Amino acid sequence: MQTNHPFTYQIPEKFQDFLQIGMRVVVEFGNGNRKIQGFVTGLTDEYSGEHQLKSVIDVLDLNPVLSDEAMAMADWLTQRTFAFKIRCLQVMLPNAMRASYRKTLKLTGKITDSDLITLFDHQSEVEFNPRKLTSSQLNQIEKLRKANQVEIVYHVDDRAKSKLVWAFKAQMTVEELQTAKKTLRKNAAKRKRLLDFLITNHEQEFVQSDVTRENNFTASDLKTAAQKGWITRYQIEKYRNPYQIDKVQPSTPKKLTAEQAQATNAVDQAIDEDQAATFLLEGVTGSGKTEVYLQIIQHALAQGKSALMLVPEISLTPQIVRQFKARFGDQVALLHSALSDGERYDEWRRIEKGDAQVVVGARSAIFAPIKNLGVIIMDEEHETSYKQEDMPRYHARDVAQWRGQYHHCPVVLGSATPSLESRARAQKGVYQWLRLTKRINGKDLPHVQLVDMRQAGRYAPTTDISQELATEIQKKLALNEQVVLMLNRRGYSSFLMCRECGEVIKCPNCDISLTYHKDTNSLKCHYCGHEEPVPQVCPNCHSKAVRYFGTGTQRVEKELTELFPTARVLRMDVDTTRRKGAHERILDEFGKHHADILLGTQMIAKGLDFPNVTLVGVLNADTSLGLPDFRASERTFQLLTQVSGRAGRAEKEGNVLIQTYNPDHYAIQYAQRQDYEHFFGKEMQVRHQGGYPPYYYTIQITASARTEADAAQKMFQIRGEIVNYLSQNAVILGPTPQSIMRINNRYYYQLVIKYKNEPQLENYLQNLLLTSQKEERNGLQIVIDRDPMNFI
Ligand SMILES: Nc1ncnc2c1ncn2[C@@H]1O[C@H](COP(=O)(O)OP(=O)(O)OP(=O)(O)O)[C@@H](O)[C@H]1O
Ligand SMILES: [Zn+2]
Ligand SMILES: [Zn+2]
């Protein structure tokens, strides 16, 4: 059973001076002799309980791995996210430190103490096992640690790393190779070709299998070449860290535009004055937000402080990383989920030791053990991936603000399309509002044209590319310019839409799309529980073309190659980017213009800065609009604006075509005009009327169980209880089944509370979390999610 109570253990005498808060220990827990890893959260001299205390068995660290800040943050996180404290402590550490990897003690200084000489036995590295050490040895080690003369090393096996492949490069000089070529027999055509290959690609390293495949040499050709001394062959790691960017040209700060300078100065001032202020940097696409971030960070560094830069997972591309490395070199540490456990741990250590002052990373990097923070920046602050979906269910923005308060440093939230929550706060003056209204290239935002697919559908019902879009693509190909096409996969086939008129079937009570349930062939509302059968005809136009909606990238790729047989198409989706480094390779290829069309899912919408892209096409704007979520319009608007911003970023002007079945919907209309201002106004009205955030807070409670009855019953029981703790002003929606009600033979029911100010609610929920634990034995699980991002 999980709990938030700390447990008391006795400290063996030899650990008494050694053990500190924030260190990890091994203790026996519960019945039996199960050993688990625990954290020291407090120390006391007194114990008045009646139980015989168990002893700490072993210590895992030399010095605290969790700082005072981390301990305080974990306390706050536990309360804030309705989580178990142990999970909050664990989330602060890299994986390598959560698992049981082999550890050694490494000597970096000189030792004189005879005890330690025995321990190290003339080696510089020995197994670290405090349990087996004497207290005098521990004391000595403690002293050496304080003098930075020993450290603990984790031995993390990286399976990905250990895979080796053959590589080669030319060993002879170009002249020598030329000479070798002259000595060849006339009919040795293949060897001649190999020598030519080496001469033209001199100094370059090749993976053998790439060359044998692409250039039609065999492995034995290369072996012979090595015997003759033309090349040297050796083994290298197969998967290199794609982010190990070695050769970056250093970059210098650009001269800021007036708007950029104004924004930068405001934040710089807050850094100088140790102000924990939050800034909203609202800048249109291509307005140079990244340069503003870079110069703010530079300012923090100049003040002897460090900086934390968060970027959404999918836009943490090598392109972005390179920009930071180019400016700050080795001071940059990168925390990305694509790194192996070992690589992440290495970066974590560099940050903790203070060797890296600029941390660039995705969501969980917000917990990086960085000291002396001068500024925290969150790019694309509206991105939903900043919210973690598992316990602890934190939003990186909240954590950023907590750390900002702790370090007395500013937090900068940047976006072209801020979340409604943030923008509303900026408007109220809670956040300081900074704006970049112009593109750096001085050009207008790209021209956006809507293609009404209700018309297009009539003459080409089976294609995904309208005549209009096809014509535009053809034009760009003729000009040798590049095209980006986005297929919106959000909300893929979970709702019903009429192909004739674009009508999406909505709940009569909630004005939210109904979700299609395949098992019952019905439509359900996830807010109020309304259910109806799938209609035979469209309630709006009576057409029979009502179907659930979706198309795949592969199908579109096929269509593209049929329409434009000579065009080179690159596809970027979950399938083509699964392998490490694939993401970078695709973008790299496209950047070098080795392809004309980049076709992808929403992962191509963000951050890309390719000067030769002059056309952006959105194949299906509507899928995300139909999501059974009050944020559907907001997400659609954001996505369309972001992707449109990829066009015409340099000298050439760009245009955008959006294919839609709902050309009159306000989210699409305002996205066409790229008019965040009016979208915000309209959407705030909608939220006000519906009683949704930012006017109300929301909390979602989910129960899952082995039978539907158990899950439903529990939710109704909770509903019955919770009303006693809520005022008249709060609204309870549900209980309702979730859209995928059964996952892995577990049934899910949920309930959403909308409220403004409910002083008793927190306590009730904290209690619920702990008491519901008792029922876990019966297979029942309760999840409490504050400000949920997904209502489906
Ligand atoms: N002051 C400047 N002078 C010259 N070029 C600049 C300046 N600031 C930024 N740039 C360049 O302008 C281009 C667009 O900048 P950037 O990609 O940072 O925009 P952005 O606001 O982050 O856009 P998006 O939200 O679309 O990603 C980049 O190529 C960048 O190098
Ligand atoms: Zn409803
Ligand atoms: Zn219809």
pLDDT for residue 158 is more than 70: no
pLDDT for res 523? 83
Q: How much is the average pLDDT of 282-308?
A: 96
pLDDT for res 99? 63
510 is in an annotated binding site: yes
Give domain 447-492+551-686's CATH architecture: 3-Layer(aba) Sandwich (3.40)
Tell me which ligand sits closest to the C-alpha of residue 322: 1
Mean per-residue pLDDT over the chain, rounded: 85
Instruction: Return the bridge partners of 234, or none.
Output: 167
What would the pLDDT profile of 144-157 be if each residue is shown by its tens digit?
878 778 887 776 55
Q: Judge contact between 271 and 409, C-beta under 8 A.
A: yes
541 is in an annotated binding site: yes
Beta-strand runs (E) in 607-708: 613-618, 655-660, 697-705
* Most confident by average pLDDT, 56-60, 68-72, 541-545, 609-613: 68-72
pLDDT for residue 239 is more than 60: no
Short-list 116, 93, 95, CA closest to 105? 116
Which of 234-248, 344-358, 389-403, 688-702 shows the lowest mean pLDDT across its residues?
234-248
pLDDT for res 738? 77
Instruction: Return the bridge partners of 152, or none.
Output: 105
Fold of 13-65+102-155: GIY-YIG endonuclease (3.40.1440)
DSSP state, residue 380: S
| CA 633 – ligand 3 centroid, Å | 20
Q: How much is the average pLDDT of 154-177?
A: 70
Residue 725's pLDDT band, with cuts at 50, 70 and 90, is very high
Which atom number of ligand 1 is nearest to the Cα of residue 292? 8
Looking at per-residue confidence, does 614 or 124 come out higher? 614
Amino acid at residue number 194? L
Nearest CA to ligand 1 atom 4: 254
Q: How much is the average pLDDT of 644-673?
A: 89
Query: What percent of the chain lies above the pLDDT cut of 90?
Result: 42
Q: Please name the helix (run of DSSP H) or strand (run of DSSP E) that holds residue 579, with its range, or none.
A: none
Going edge to edge, which strands form the sheet with 597-600? Answer: 447-452, 655-660, 613-618, 482-486, 597-600, 569-572
| CA 109 – ligand 1 centroid, Å | 47
409 is in an annotated binding site: no
pLDDT for res 429? 96
Looking at the chain, the domain(s) classified CATH 3.40.50.300 span 258-436, 447-492+551-686
| CA 359 – ligand 1 centroid, Å | 21
pLDDT for residue 550 is more than 60: no
The set of residues, in sequence order, having a beta carbon less than 8 Å from that of 766 and lying 6+ positions away, is: 79, 82
- Cα torsion 653, 657, 658, 663: sign: positive
The set of residues, in sequence order, having a beta carbon less than 8 Å from that of 392 and lying 6+ positions away, is: 77, 78, 81, 83, 87, 88, 91
Q: How much is the average pLDDT of 137-144?
A: 81
pLDDT for res 160? 35
Tell me which ligand sits closest to the C-alpha of residue 544: 3
Length of the chain: 792
Short-list 223, 456, 242, CA closest to 343? 242
Looking at per-residue confidence, does 174 or 96 come out higher? 174
For a pocket test of ligand 1, which of 249, 383, 609 has the largest count of ligand atoms closer than 8 A to its C-beta? 609
| CA 792 – ligand 2 centroid, Å | 13
Looking at per-residue confidence, does 660 or 401 come out higher? 401
Fold of 258-436: Rossmann fold (3.40.50)
Looking at the chain, the domain(s) classified CATH 3.30.70.360 span 697-786
Residue 169's pLDDT band, with cuts at 50, 70 and 90, is confident
| CA 592 – ligand 2 centroid, Å | 50
What would the pLDDT profile of 298-338 be if each residue is shown by its tens digit?
999 999 999 999 999 877 777 788 899 999 998 999 998 77
Query: What percent of the chain lies above the pLDDT cut of 70?
Result: 90
CB crowding 345-362: b at 16 or more within 10 Å, else e: bbbbbbbbeeebbbbbbb
Instruction: Return the bridge partners of 448, or none.
Output: 656
Looking at per-residue confidence, does 639 or 128 come out higher? 639
Short-list 474, 569, 524, CA closest to 735? 524
88 is in an annotated binding site: no
Residue 243's pLDDT band, with cuts at 50, 70 and 90, is low
d(CA 473, CA 479): 10
For a pocket test of ligand 1, which of 290, 378, 644 has the largest count of ligand atoms closer than 8 A to its C-beta? 290
501 is in an annotated binding site: yes
* Most confident by average pLDDT, 116-120, 463-467, 494-498: 463-467
The pair of three-digit structure tokens given for residue 200, joined into one six-digit string: 């033209």
What would the pLDDT profile of 263-274 be if each residue is shown by its tens digit?
999 999 999 999
| CA 444 – ligand 1 centroid, Å | 14
Ligand 1 interacting residues, C-beta cut-off 6 A: 254-257, 260, 283, 285-291, 416, 440, 607, 609, 645
The pair of three-digit structure tokens given for residue 660, joined into one six-digit string: 């839609």
Nearest CA to ligand 1 atom 16: 288
The pair of three-digit structure tokens given for residue 470, joined into one six-digit string: 């096809």
CATH of span 697-786: 3.30.70.360
What would the pLDDT profile of 343-373 be if each residue is shown by its tens digit?
888 888 889 989 899 999 999 999 999 999 9
Dmax over CA atoms of the chain, in Å, equals 96
Nearest CA to ligand 1 atom 11: 288
